[in-house]
A and B are shown apart, each in its own frame.
Chain A
Amino acid sequence: MAKYLLLKHYRGAPAPCNGAPMDQWTPEEVSAHIQYMHDFAARLEKTGEFVDGQALAPEGTWVRYDGEGRPPVTDGPFAETKDLIAGWMVIDVDSYDRAVELAGELSAAPGAGGKPIHEWLEVRPFLAATPATTECPHR
């Protein structure tokens, strides 16, 4: 088993072919989209492949250390940030192919006109914490 992060972007992903913003859909299309996402997660829970899913607010802040005894420096949010993550789902699956298959299904979530959004999702493998013992027999 291997864990993958499916990343959804507000900005930064290639433009989808059905990319009208949600507030330009009909309310029924919005509901259908949300239902699809719920059903997808519920199905993965049933197959034992779901780990976690979270959505993020669009506005964040940049923070950095500013030296001993000083409060951290904050900056932003930046309206022009190129890459903006909207949320993620973590899955635990048997293969990379399965991760890609599931990301493809998630990308088929319906949007305007009830048609799939074809949204680009980013699939990122987790680095495992330890190598499998049998692959490293002399450890």
Chain B
Amino acid sequence: MNEALLRSLTPSVLTVLVRRGADFAAAEDAVQDALVEALRVWPADPPRDAKGWLVTVAWRRFLDGVRADTARRRREDLLDEEPVPGPAPAVDDTLQLYFLCAHPSLTPSSAVALTLRAVGGLTTRQIAQAYLVPEATMAQRISRAKRTVSGVRFDQPGDVATVLRVLYLVFNEGYSGDVDLSAEAIRLTRQLAAAVDHPEVAGLLALMLLHHARRAARTAPDGSLVPLAEQDRGRWDTASIAEGVGILQAALARDRLGEFQAQAAIAALHADAPTAEETDWVQIVEWYDELMRLTDSPVVRLNRAVAVGEADGPRAGLAALAALDDSLPRHAAVAAYLHERDGDLARAARLYAEAARKATNLAERDHLTRQAARLNSGRRQ
């Protein structure tokens, strides 16, 4: 059975139920039940019409739930055998579903969980595994999220930017356990790009594809990080790069630049270089300047300092770094790198060890510890 196909049907099945008059929270539960049922039944008995099957089973589950609640809630009107069609949707229903799941009243972690379940069709168990929390915790997070958005009208227009932030968070969570969240984020962003014509949606999709293309080369067989300059570029996924570049070029041609397009442009310049030495760092610095005009975030300034160090030499990079607060995450790591390139190995080793102490994830900590170890053992010889 094709689980990806099953999950791709989730938003349309859910919106059918909502259009028939089901409230979002109950409809979402019913669709989840139908998905779990499909995972159980389909391998032995695949339906001819997958979507029809899901709608039928989900609607039946929904009605069962309503019947159970009826005495208390008096909702017999929904029990008519033939569902009443709702008003014709003004905007694409899938898009409405994205807006609802990324609604600004939700915390980022709730929006992420609800999006993965209601739009992505993942089970609560899969989402819990991906985020390394107990299933009961994730179930609570999702049901609280649904309560939070219960008063939001389904046909209310939303802000694409909030949806993009949620998808960006999912993508960056990466890969742990059975569910590949980066791949899932790409799938959901692709689906969004099909539902709405927006250059930043295209920009985010391009950014994801270009980063994902390097994934195989980013870690060594022992799990350690391989920095960009040392990656085996033959292991980059050229099809993914070509697709990302194509999408980005079409988006840039529309002349409505945004943060994700600018980040994708930087990723594209890296992808475009046959060797690390041939990277067009001057153009990368120009894109960082664009990005600073768009966001002016300290993280962007820090990354820009690295690019300046490559384009104009480590001293220039250190000068750019000097203007930044040294409590910024990864500041010590950048300083270590630039001092090493400048030939001050003792200082670089000290800074790498400091950066390792400040690292916020294990892979980076191990990598930075190895860098310190490399410089220190080189100096002993």
Question: What A residues does B358 contact at CB under 8 A?
Answer: 57, 59
Say which residue of A27, A31, A55, A58 sits within 8 Å of B357 (CB atoms): A58
Contact A29 B373 (CB under 8 A): yes
Interface centre among B360, B362, B373 (most CB of A within 10 A): B373
Say which residue of B222, B223, B362, B373 sits within 8 Å of A23 (CB atoms): B373
The tally of residues in A whose CB lies under 8 Å from a CB in B reads 17
Contact B352 A30 (CB under 8 A): no
Question: What B residues does A58 contact at CB under 8 A?
Answer: 357
Given A38-B223, A58-B357, also A23-B349 (CB < 8 A): yes
Look across to chain B and name the residue whose beta carbon is closest to the beta carbon of A29.
Answer: B373
Interface residues of B in 341-381 (CB under 8 A from A): 349, 352-353, 356-360, 362, 365-366, 369-370, 372-374, 376-377
Give 1 or 0 for each of A20-33: 1 = CB within 8 Å of chain B CB.
Answer: 01111111011100
Contact B373 A26 (CB under 8 A): yes
Contact B373 A24 (CB under 8 A): yes
Question: What A residues does B360 contact at CB under 8 A?
Answer: 57
Query: Is A95 part of the contact surface with B, judged by Cβ < 8 Å?
Result: no
Contact A22 B222 (CB under 8 A): no
CA distance A49 to B357 in the complex (A): 30
Contact B373 A30 (CB under 8 A): yes
Given A27-B370, A31-B370, also A55-B362 (CB < 8 A): yes
Say which residue of A23, A38, A55 sits within 8 Å of B369 (CB atoms): A23
Look across to chain B and name the residue whose beta carbon is closest to the beta carbon of A38.
Answer: B223
Interface centre among A23, A30, A58 (most CB of B within 10 A): A23
By size class, the interface of chain B is 20 to 34
Question: How near does chain A come to B220, taking the closest CB pair, in angstroms?
Answer: 9
Query: Is A74 part of the contact surface with B, judged by Cβ < 8 Å?
Result: no
Label chain A's interface by main secondary structure. Answer: helix
CA distance A57 to B376 in the complex (A): 23
Question: How near does chain B come to A27, taking the closest CB pair, in angstroms?
Answer: 4
Question: How near does chain A come to B31, taking the closest CB pair, in angstroms?
Answer: 33
CA distance A57 to B362 in the complex (A): 9
Contact A25 B223 (CB under 8 A): no
Contact B369 A30 (CB under 8 A): yes
Given A29-B373, A30-B369, also A23-B224 (CB < 8 A): no
Listed by A's residue number, 17 A-B pairs whose Cβ atoms lie within 8 Å are A21-B353, A23-B352, A23-B372, A23-B373, A24-B373, A24-B376, A26-B374, A26-B377, A30-B370, A30-B373, A31-B222, A31-B224, A31-B370, A34-B223, A34-B224, A55-B365, A57-B360
List A residues at the B interface (Cβ < 8 Å): 21-27, 29-31, 34-35, 38, 55, 57-59
List B residues at the A interface (Cβ < 8 Å): 222-224, 349, 352-353, 356-360, 362, 365-366, 369-370, 372-374, 376-377
Identify 11 new A-B residue pairs, CB closer than 8 A, beyond the known A23-B349, A23-B356: A23-B353, A23-B372, A26-B373, A26-B377, A27-B374, A27-B377, A31-B370, A34-B366, A35-B222, A57-B357, A57-B360
